[in-house]
Structure 1
């Protein structure tokens, strides 16, 4: 099949003249945009791409946040207490007075009405299995969002390319209709003169007018479609919809990039959706490890340095007030013992998700392979169809020219001329559509192998 494709393409590339660089409908002064400019503008301004890049940026900050949780944590604290009523305490009788009845309970107030405390607390995580797994997960998540951002770029490029070619096809169709309308307009002038001189029938003139009206209606409808597609292309590019633009007609030429795209091997490893799926599976495995890390003990060291002051009234700001220093140094060990099987069931849920991702990946890979086969078949058929439409267009132009000459000599009826004009119009439209099919097939083939950026590189 590949040899067949290459032979057809070689004939197309060297044997088919490119589409004529016709003037596009003049919609006012506006910048002329090539496909490359459209794609690059979309990569810079498209809202979906910007959001994906923000997600990627957020993932980098999240990674730094997790790294920071393993660094020393230092905090300052302070508190002021004013006991309007000092908490009472009950003590056995005779504790301070040997002569008191030991069976009685004495109630006294311990403490002073006001106190102030301020200090610094330093903690350092010494060991946490969950933290180590979290670092790996943060790095994987960063890669996940990076590939997701690249996948979004590929999707936007594909949308821009397909919409660009659709607009170009409509523009070329509009130009074809205008060319036919001009021919009918010139013919109308001739027949009008003949009718005025009783050399032609009025019905022949009416037929011309009916055909011209039909063309004008088609052009009006096509103009609406062109404007709608162009506005959607502007949205994809992230530019104002009221900005006047024109598309460069050379976008439909058959160039060397068509040849390069069709010689690509069936290598789907460059597809970012598959890389995103791999990262999703990796994140799920790390989620299982992180849950299992909850069975491991954690160890942290801490130190507390503080100063305390006590008084019966608020005079802590006095220079003569005495402050008492306290220092605490220690380690804290937490050992999970029993959590009601919460972690066990959470791990089971994650394993079910892992199985679901395996099935998703299997379906995705089959879909990707099908996309490649379909794109290859579409490219092969579209190139064959373009050869046929080129010959058909040349034949239609020849038939119309001959019929027009015969009609002017009075050797062919007007019906034959109108029929040949309609056939030429349809042949030209079919040729333009097929040229668009070749370019869209190229985009499909590049996208199926993850090489859609080759269109602009």
Structure 2
């Protein structure tokens, strides 16, 4: 049941929010994480390609079914013998007076003939056909799993890029707030300097910090645009579409803790299920080869009309047409093929062994990814708590340093250092939030439950 969660999630999107998100996609607007994922699942080209593969597998299954249905063909045949083929017969066959040792050469047939008819055949028994039906159905399931795996990757990529853009925008807000503070400080120092209450070097220090901050803001603005454009590419929408992202509540400390309680049933991973389907398809391939040892039985019928003439007058209403008809059964029993099927089975068995090794390595990698994701999330949560404390401490230091500076008990350099430290602490805090959200997404993805990232 759990493997259908992502399908249910997409269906819910389509029923509840697709039209709303589509309108905003066309007009531009503020997008939530859920809306970005919804558009990605709908417009991403990799998903569309995977869905086309799934559609092709459905047509292939129908093609195989068609081979077991009646096969009807119409045909026509016209012959114009410029020279009627001669036939040799012993003397005395047609004329008793002819010497039997002689050879008489005569022409049997007429110069022109025409034949038209229809034939029908029906497969009665074929072991290969029965196995092919099972393989076609399994192939459909295989491509459906590939589509689901692609959808899972898109949800993961959209979420991480969404977090990345939000984090960068928060850093920009941090720089803008510091820029406003420095601007006010610059005006104060400038006024003090003009009234000989401050040194020129202090005024220059503020200007240098302000210029450096503005340069960082310019670079960060470019980074925001680049990350937004990449997010649009993952979502499958034109990069010239104007979008803004809704503020995300990164202070929700319950979500990462809930992720640590996730069910560690790794069998839900689509990559493991895909390998399982590959093994099923390989087993069916072996059965299909073995079916070559079984006899094949089919029935057929043919109805035709024939006309003969010395000249082309078949369209004449008075021309005689002679009907012919037959029905029959055709049995094909394989006896010896030079050990071809035996060696094909051996080759397929080797492929099966290789898939088993792939399954073993995939299971080990899945287990390692899960353990690493759990460890990464736990460490990230601890680091975030440390960064949060560090941020609070930096805010207190800046407040105290500002009070001391206003009272003339602290130099300007201490105030600027405290401002820089707070800016760096906030940037580190935002980066660590992204690390926590990334680790959370990694944990959900490692257990094949990436859809839970939206619910949290």
Output the TM-score relative to the length of structure 1: 0.91
Give 2:7's aligned residue: none
- The Cα of 1:121 is off from its aligned counterpart by 0.6
DSSP-derived class of the 2:268 partner: coil
- Contact preservation (8 Å) 2:57, 2:136: yes
- Say which of 255, 274, 277 aligns to 1:276: 274
Q: Which residue of 2 aligns with 1:13?
A: none
Which aligned pairs between 1:73-84 and structure 2 lie closer than 5 A?
73-84=71-82
Distance 2:417 2:257 in 1: 38
Residues 240-283 of structure 1 show CA distances to partners (whole Å, capped at 9, x for unaligned) of 10011111112534265444332212111221111111000000
Matched, 1:109 2:107: yes
Deviation, structure 1 residue 89: 1.7
1:385 corresponds to: 383
Query: What is the alpha-carbon distance in structure 2 between the residues aligned to residue 237 and residue 412 of structure 1?
Result: 52
Alignment check: 8 A CA contact 1:296 1:335 kept: yes
RMSD, matched Cα = 1.5
Equivalent residue for 1:250? 248
Alignment of 1:44-193 (within 5 A): 44-193=42-191
1:305 alignment partner, SS class = strand
1:262-315 deviation line (CA, Å, top 9, x unaligned): 221211122111111100000011111111111211111111111111111111
C-alpha separation in 2, matches of 1:352 and 1:112 = 61
- Which residue pairs with 1:343 in the alignment? 341
Higher deviation after alignment, 296-305 or 260-269: 260-269
Find the counterpart in structure 2 of residue 19 from structure 1: none
Q: How many residues align?
A: 429
SS at match of 1:317: coil
CA distance in 1, matches of 2:101, 2:192: 139
| Paired residues for 1:291-440 under 5 Å | 291-440=289-438
- CA–CA distance in structure 1, aligned partners of residues 281 and 255 of structure 2: 38
Identify the residue that residue 12 of structure 2 maps to in structure 1: none
CA distance in 2, matches of 1:383, 1:198: 50
Q: C-alpha separation between the residues in 2 aligned to 1:34 and 1:296?
A: 60
SS in 1 for 2:76: strand
Q: Which of these residues, 239, 264, 268, is aligned with residue 262 of structure 2?
A: 264
Segments of 4+ moved more than 4 angstroms: none
Please state if 1:448 is matched with 2:410: no
Match of 2:13 in 1: none
Q: Could you tell me whether the CA contact under 8 Å between 2:166 and 2:248 is conserved in 1?
A: no
Q: Deviations over 1:151-200 (max 9, x none)?
A: 11001110111111111111111111111111111111111111212221
SS in 2 for 1:123: strand
Distance 1:92 1:219 in 2: 109
Between 1 and 2, higher relative CO (CA 8 Å, sep ≥ 6) is seen in 1
Aligned CA distance change for structure 1 residues 30 and 135 (closer, same or farther; 3 Å)? closer
Superposed CA offset, 1:215-252 (max 9, x none): 12222222222111111110111111001111111253
**8 Å contact 2:91–2:100 — kept in the other structure?**
yes
Listed one character per residue, the Cα deviations across residues 19-76 of structure 1 (whole Å, up to 9, x for unaligned) are xxxxxxxxxx941111100001101111001111111111111111101101111111
Alpha carbons of structure 1 residues 255 and 88: separation in structure 2 relative to 1, 3 Å:
farther
| Whole-angstrom CA distance in 1 between matches of 2:133 and 2:28 | 51
Q: Distance in 2 between matches of 1:263 and 1:203?
A: 57
Q: Say if 1:35 and 1:251, in contact at 8 Å, map to a contact too.
A: no
Task: Please state how far the C-alpha of 1:80 moved relative to its aligned partner.
Answer: 1.4
Does structure 2 conserve the Cα–Cα contact (< 8 Å) formed by 1:34 and 1:251? Answer: no
TM-score (norm 2): 0.91
Aligned residues of 2:398 and 2:422 also touching (Cα < 8 A): yes
Counterpart residue number, 2:37? 39
Q: Distance in 2 between matches of 1:62 and 1:255?
A: 49
Question: Structure 1: how far apart are the matches of 2:152 and 2:219?
Answer: 32
CA distance in 2, matches of 1:228, 1:422: 26
Question: Partners of 2:283 and 2:207 in 1: how far apart?
Answer: 72
Deviation of 1:353 after TM superposition, in Å, equals 0.8
